[in-house]
Amino acid sequence: MKHYQILGLTALPLLLTLISAQATPLYPSAATFDAREKDWRNGAIVYQILVDRFVPSDHLAVKQHLYPAPKVLRAWHDLPQRGVELEDQKLNSQELEFWGGDLKSAQTKLDHVKALGATAIYLNPIHLAWTNHKYDALDYKAISPEFGNRQDFKNFAAQAHHRGLKVVLDGVFNHMGRNSSQFKDAMANPQSQWRNWFAIGSQYKGGARVWTGFQNLPELNLENPAVRQYLYEAPDSVVRGYLKDGADGWRLDTAYELGLPYMRALTHAARKEKKDAVVIGEIVNYPDQWLTAMDGVMNFTLREIILGLAKSDLSPTAAARMTERLISDAGIEPMLKSWTVIDNHDIPRIATQLPNVQQRKFVQSLQFTLPGSPNVYYGSEVGMTGGSDPENRNPMRWDWVSADHPEMVWMKKLIATHQQNKALRVGNFRRIESEKLFAFERYTHKTLDTRLVLANPSLSPVTERILVANAGLMDDTPLVDLLGIDPHKHVTTMGPGLITVTVPPQSVMVLKPVERDLGGYSRYKRYP
């Protein structure tokens, strides 16, 4: 009080106003969630494809010349297998095996992607490169002829947009391929204009700095302004040029290698071209600091938590605390834009990681209910299997696709649940205290939007009385399970801040509050 007396009584109202203004509201306003919904990057459903392996071309006979030896064109039913090292190529023979997909053939299956409920399609690299995976760029601005040309990409993007799908490209800007004309000239000629595009010197094995020991992947020198101009700064740069052609954003390979200053600059450059362009970084580190430089990350930390919970490597309470800390450190806005990855082209497919179907459903349920943008790897919707690279890059099994395929039915249900519930798409996160369940709340400004997610990773049913610290949920409100067999059946009832619930083994319940029919009367009439 003496402090206030020194300030004078007239200063007290101002001080109280400042304190009030700094306080963070427990429940953000409707405008916050409406703004999140208008931004396609929040809670997107991202479907990932390898163009070469997604849909076989109808014109393989006229494409044969695009696969000269030592490249090999495989039959669609062949499965990728580990090859042998080719010393002269500085790579493995499996990297030169192709299956013949291209942008035109992929375009024919955009309706499949749309029908699943996806909102964006992510293409692994399509730029000119020597290998099938295209992470060894020869020319970023040209499309690999096996896949088509820039006009084919423009057509693909236009058709995707016609179906309401965004298009995200893979940017491989940490390194190029050793066969690129720039690198060849830089190595052969000390006076080359490309010499300073790379780190060249006798201190490096092979004469140049390469990515993690791969001699086929010389690293680019991002400290060189000319490299930055070419990649993302100039109006006709790689990043901005493809955005002009119809891309809606970039996933950046090995973003942790690019570093924070360059990631910030690249994101800024993308925004110049397209205000709502997304920039997602492949960050295998803890993501919080990285999220200051880009929209979101491929959320491998969250993946490890989910899988650790499913495999009993983490207790439900430990997993809940970790998730809460992750979201708190990262911030909810970047978390909603970050891709929730369970499997992709670099790690074994989910059906191989978790052969038990119920366990797999458990993991996928959390992928679609935790804050983020679920990343669906092509073929996951039909339970395709595959171990480490190259087995995880097998051709799409279109012969398995059917409306009644159980895994496809389940995937569509998860996507629909995510898309039809605002809190799951763009809502905030709050941990629910529980001893035996991994439990959390997704919520907006509106109480009846609230969804309670209760996950039981154990092999036995769990019955528990848990605290739901939501002042808006009225006593005696029925709760239904959106992922249950009957989504209209009341599975439990809200008490005064507590519920008693039984969660089946290796299952996730998504509880939705439902107003009782009281003849038009609502106890929520004065509570948002």
Q: Do 124 and 239 reside in the same domain of the chain?
A: yes
Q: Does 493 reside within a domain?
A: yes
Q: Indicate if the pLDDT at residue 13 is higher than 60.
A: no
* pLDDT value at residue 448: 96
Q: Does 527 reside within a domain?
A: no
Q: Do 301 and 187 reside in the same domain of the chain?
A: no
* 158-175: average pLDDT: 98
Tens of pLDDT, residues 126-142: 999 999 999 999 999 99
What's the rounded Cα separation, in Å, for the pair 91 and 133? 12
Q: Do 279 and 357 reside in the same domain of the chain?
A: yes
Q: Do 287 and 433 reside in the same domain of the chain?
A: no
**In Å, how far from its chain's centre is CA 74?**
30
* pLDDT value at residue 467: 96
| Beta bridge pairs of residue 430 | 441
* pLDDT value at residue 308: 98
Q: Do 289 and 437 reside in the same domain of the chain?
A: no
Q: Do 188 and 276 reside in the same domain of the chain?
A: no
Angle between helices 300-310 and 357-367 (to 10 degrees): 140
Q: Which residue's entry shows tokens 């680019």? A: 220
* 39-58: average pLDDT: 98
Q: CB–CB of 144/22 below 8 Å?
A: no
User: How many domains, in total, are found in the chain?
Assistant: 3
- Three-state SS at 226: helix
What's the rounded Cα separation, in Å, for the pair 50 and 106? 9
Closest of 399, 394, 391, 378 to residue 74, by C-alpha: 394
Q: Which residue's entry shows tokens 């670099």? A: 346
* pLDDT value at residue 356: 97
What's the rounded Cα separation, in Å, for the pair 523 and 477? 10
Q: Which of 373, 400, 420 is the last residue of a domain?
A: 420
Q: Does 327 reside within a domain?
A: yes
* 166-193: average pLDDT: 98
Sign of the four-CA dihedral 423, 298, 246, 119:
negative
* Residue 326 structure tokens: 């992750």
* pLDDT value at residue 526: 84
Q: Do 232 and 282 reside in the same domain of the chain?
A: yes
Neighbouring CB atoms inside 10 A of 308's CB total 16
Range of 499's domain? 428-513
Tens of pLDDT, residues 184-233: 999 999 999 999 999 999 999 999 999 999 999 999 999 999 999 999 99
Q: Do 237 and 365 reside in the same domain of the chain?
A: yes
Q: Which of 190, 214, 238 is the last residue of a domain?
A: 214
Q: Indicate if the pLDDT at residue 14 is higher than 70.
A: no
Q: Indicate if the pLDDT at residue 23 is higher than 50.
A: no
Write the CB contacts of 180 (distance below 8 Å, at least 6 apart in sequence): 137, 138, 139
Q: Do 51 and 122 reside in the same domain of the chain?
A: yes
What's the rounded Cα separation, in Å, for the pair 499 and 501? 6
Q: Indicate if the pLDDT at residue 26 is higher than 80.
A: no
* pLDDT value at residue 507: 98
Q: What is the CATH number of the domain that holds 113?
A: 3.20.20.80
| Beta bridge pairs of residue 86 | 91
Q: Indicate if the pLDDT at residue 347 is higher than 60.
A: yes
pLDDT band, very low/low/confident/very high, at 9 (cuts 50, 70, 90): very low
Q: Which residue's entry shows tokens 């392996």? A: 53
Q: Do 358 and 450 reside in the same domain of the chain?
A: no
Q: Which residue's entry shows tokens 């990409």? A: 153
Closest of 376, 370, 369 to residue 345, by C-alpha: 376
* Residue 112 structure tokens: 């499949």
Closest of 104, 110, 124 to residue 56, by C-alpha: 104
Tens of pLDDT, residues 241-275: 999 999 999 999 999 999 999 999 999 999 999 99
What's the rounded Cα separation, in Å, for the pair 445 and 432? 18
Write the CB contacts of 401 (distance below 8 Å, at least 6 apart in sequence): 112, 381, 382, 408
| Beta bridge pairs of residue 73 | 98
What's the rounded Cα separation, in Å, for the pair 511 and 491? 8
Give burial (CB, 10 Å; 0-12/13-18/19+) of 412: middle
Q: Does 11 reside within a domain?
A: no
Q: Does 449 reside within a domain?
A: yes
Write the CB contacts of 523 (distance below 8 Å, at least 6 apart in sequence): 474, 515
Q: CB–CB of 431/439 below 8 Å?
A: yes
What's the rounded Cα separation, in Å, for the pair 389 and 348? 7
Q: What is the CATH number of the domain that holds 437?
A: 2.60.40.1180
Write the CB contacts of 304 (distance below 8 Å, at least 6 apart in sequence): none
Q: Does 3 reside within a domain?
A: no
Closest of 318, 449, 295, 430 to residue 373, by C-alpha: 295
Q: Which of 401, 420, 439 is the last residue of a domain?
A: 420
| Beta bridge pairs of residue 455 | 438, 508
Q: Do 83 and 199 reside in the same domain of the chain?
A: no
Q: Does 330 reside within a domain?
A: yes
Write the CB contacts of 145 (distance below 8 Å, at least 6 apart in sequence): 66, 128
- Three-state SS at 454: strand
Which amino acid appears at position 504 of this protein? P
Sign of the four-CA dihedral 117, 119, 125, 128:
positive
Write the CB contacts of 315 (distance below 8 Å, at least 6 apart in sequence): none
Q: Does 17 reside within a domain?
A: no
Tens of pLDDT, residues 422-456: 999 999 999 999 999 999 999 999 999 999 999 99
pLDDT band, very low/low/confident/very high, at 18 (cuts 50, 70, 90): very low
Q: Do 256 and 397 reside in the same domain of the chain?
A: yes
